Amino acid sequence: MLVYVLGLWAGAAGAVSAQGISPNPEINVACSPASIPVEVYPGATRVGTTFCTATNPTQYTEKVRIQVTAGGLAFAAPGSVIVGAYDDAVFEVVVRGDDRMAEGSRTVTVSATVDTANGVACPSCTSNTVNALVTIMQYSRLRVEAEEPFKQLRPKVDYIFEFKVYNDGNAYDRFNIEIANRDVLEDADFQITLPAISTEIEPQAPPDKMRVMIRTPKKQGWSDHYYQLQFKATSEFSVRTEGVANYQTQMVTLYVRGVYLPGFEVIPGMTMLALGAAVLHRRRVDEDHAELIGAEPPEPLL
């Protein structure tokens, strides 16, 4: 039977060669898009799709075996397709990335091989292969922590606050640093210095410690005051690529005491001593008067 079918293929060769059609079982495959973007940020679908077309340039009805390798990614694709004579068939190849996986690229290879032609096995048929590139897209994500969320300070003192900046994204990123309410604090007579205005952090790496140096107002007045120091970190990648600034603000509460006068706390004590002396003096006067008139001295007032 195989010899008979091969003879038919050979006999058909002369008839179809003049028309530019392959006389032997054959399949061609092409996929579009050739580049497959996959978003892996938290909450993303994490899937990408390419549409492949298997084209049969022969007079045979072919069963075509589909094989896919996806560079370690999960994928879905049909195991085989049926393609009629001089016809084509479209199938999908879907790939899926892992949640928050690192930014990068993977190669997807799609191979199509004729298994049977007109129901007859074709062990000598070769594969036709096409590649597509899966791009794991970068996303920005950050986290900021304050070492001291509350601090009590006196007027006209220097202090250094430390903040931790984490890169929770999936690729290397630069973070720009600023004090969001700097104008408000400087209007209140604070002096603020940032030793560094940006930092570069690898994804999922330990945090970078950023410092903010401040000097409290030298003229606080008599009353105590509360202030907010608003430390802000912004992903440069988000501004440059994502179109929306991804930032986080961490606040520190500053409690600045009013003016302290040395010796002010001894005034109440001195008042009590003066009152006690007055009472003793009054008692002595009463006792002296009682002795002069021969009466009993009065009962003590205290």
Q: Which tens digits make up the pLDDT trace of 148-202?
A: 999 999 999 999 999 999 999 999 999 999 999 999 999 999 999 999 999 999 9
At the second CATH level, the architecture of 2-136 is: Sandwich (2.60)
Which tens digit of pLDDT belongs to each residue from 162-177? 999 999 999 999 999 9
Question: Can you say how many angstroms the Cα of residue 157 is from the centroid of all Cα atoms in its chain?
Answer: 36
Is residue 289 scored above 90 in pLDDT? no
At the second CATH level, the architecture of 142-256 is: Sandwich (2.60)
What is this structure's pTM? 0.73
In the block, which residue shows the tokens 């050739």? 34
C-alpha 73/C-alpha 50 separation (Å) is: 14
Percentage above 90 pLDDT, the chain: 74
Is residue 271 scored above 80 in pLDDT? no
At 272 the pLDDT is 57
Domains of the chain, residue spans: 2-136, 142-256, 266-293
Confidence of residue 18 (pLDDT cuts 50, 70, 90): very low
How many CB atoms lie under 10 A from the CB of residue 79?
A: 8
C-alpha 128/C-alpha 140 separation (Å) is: 39
Chain mean pLDDT for the chain: 87
DSSP letters for 31-88: EE-SEEEE--STT---EEEEEEEEE--SSS-EEEEEEEE-TT-EEE--SEEEE-TT-E
C-alpha 198/C-alpha 259 separation (Å) is: 36
Which tens digit of pLDDT belongs to each residue from 69-109? 999 999 999 999 999 999 999 999 999 999 999 999 999 99
Q: Which neighbouring-strand residues pair with 231?
A: 179, 250
At 219 the pLDDT is 80
282 phi and psi angles, rounded to 5 deg = -65, -40
One fold for both 2-136 and 142-256? yes
Is residue 245 scored above 70 in pLDDT? yes
